[in-house]
Amino acid sequence: MGPRRSYRHELLILAFVGVTALAFLYPVNWQDVSRLGLTQSLAQRGSLRIDSYADQTGDKALFAGHYYSDKAPGISFAALPAFEGLRALGAIRKPEQARGVWNRYGLLWLLRVATGGLLFLLAVCLVGRATEKVAPGAGGAAAATFGLGTLVLPLAAVTFGHVGAGAAAFASFLLAWRAGEDRHRGRVLSLAAGALAGIAALLEYQVAIIAALVLAYLIVKSRRPSLPILFCLGVLPSLLTLALYNDRAFGSPLHLSYRYHATFTEQRRGFFGLGAPSLHGLWDTLFAGKGLVTSSPVVLVAGAGLYLLWRRGRRAEAALCAAATLSFIVYNAGYFTPYGGTSPGPRFLVPALPFLALGLGHAYQRWPRVFALTALVSVASMIHASATWNEQPSWTFVTIWSRWVGLPKEVGAALVCITALVGLALAFTRRIREFP
């Protein structure tokens, strides 16, 4: 099995989903400064320190008198090609070189698109193609619903690592799935699956949980000792990169950045801010105002779809997807701040959403009307969240259409809704005809 089968109107659906998601503009936040500060320091000075930008962010680690990004370094590394390209074109001028590229908003948006935006599109593409394999005819609906109706939408046009880590982890799973079924290319696919699992953890540390689940899945699925070994070998380059980064920045290959968080002392408690899950944390994660189920009820249908996937013979795959989802719900419920500060919802569980979304296909085929209703509610909710989660009134419903084209905010908002509806129509029309 591999994510190679396209679905009807695939490119158009991806285009409209992408235009919708990347049209939203958000103010500069601490993550931008922390992650892109590391990018800029590496590019301009060959240094891991962000001392020059530390006064602009609270997301920082303090070690031996110097400031570093407190985040996993993957997004910072991923932004280097785009940063260097912009610098080669002369787009990064002296003020941005001195105070940070994020101080010029157009450059910040381009770097957000080149990192989180592209990885968002990859996640949407993979969900659609994987769904089309297990539930032919449902790939488009799954892709559009996942991209527009879950928490990946408001986190697409940012430098946060959650969506990208989920895309890499899901790609790792799909390759491991295929490796277990392909006798001829299983070894190469297992090595590639391990490489992507390592990259996922380099983007967000906690995604190592999913990497371990994929390894366990490969052991059970393949029953060939060489494949899990090759998977582990594939992980090694990312582990060595992280170990080298930790050693250069924090004095030991085993010392992660969160150990030295300079702003939140809670981050240094428990396991980097993670404690035992609580009922209150679980409520906030799932059912509070920004909870996963409250804001995106289609996830319940996706969960039911995973059960159908199990019933239809894909038991190992359904079990892995359920385990990834449940483990990240528990993880989020045990974190000292379930929403991670200002965010559209429980963002720490976002890397598991592609796995949950694999249930959308069977759910779409089994309960088309319920699916369509919950999808529309979820899309409307996520568009609203995308427009308002920054909690700064002046940035409410600010889009590329209002800021750079000069259209009124209301017109820009209408264009966002129209592109979303066109994407949904392309994805749903065929199925709706089949179920009058």
Identify whether 265 is part of a domain.
no
* 381 closest CA partner among 344, 332, 354, 423: 344
Q: Give the integer Cα–Cα distance in Å for 197 and 218.
A: 12
Question: Which tens digit of pLDDT belongs to each residue from 48-59?
Answer: 999 999 999 999
Instruction: Describe the crossing of helices 30-45 and 80-88 by its angle, rounded to 10 degrees.
Output: 60
Q: Give the integer Cα–Cα distance in Å for 128 and 360.
A: 10
Round to the nearest angstrom and report the end-to-end CA distance of the chain.
Answer: 32
Identify whether 262 is part of a domain.
no
* 1 confidence band (pLDDT: 50, 70, 90): very low
Identify whether 269 is part of a domain.
no
Q: Give the integer Cα–Cα distance in Å for 354 and 60.
A: 29
- Residue type at position 402: S
Dihedral (CA of 15, 20, 26, 32) sign: negative
Identify whether 354 is part of a domain.
yes
User: How far does CA 141 lie from the centroid of its chain?
Assistant: 19
Identify whether 198 is part of a domain.
yes
Q: 67: helix, coil or strand?
A: strand
Question: Which tens digit of pLDDT belongs to each residue from 19-63?
Answer: 999 999 999 999 999 999 999 999 999 999 999 999 999 999 999
Mean pLDDT rounded to a whole number for the chain? 93
Question: Which tens digit of pLDDT belongs to each residue from 215-248?
Answer: 999 999 888 899 999 999 999 999 999 999 999 9
* 268 confidence band (pLDDT: 50, 70, 90): low
Token pair belonging to 335? 């974190």
Q: How many domains does the chain have?
A: 1
Q: Give the integer Cα–Cα distance in Å for 420 and 416.
A: 6
Identify whether 267 is part of a domain.
no
Number of alpha carbons in the 13 Å side-chain half-sphere of residue 275: 14
* 190 closest CA partner among 201, 181, 182, 179: 179
**Residue 107 belongs to what domain range?**
10-154+161-250+276-434
Identify whether 257 is part of a domain.
no
Identify whether 66 is part of a domain.
yes
Question: Which tens digit of pLDDT belongs to each residue from 341-393?
Answer: 889 999 999 999 999 999 999 999 999 999 999 999 999 999 999 999 988 88
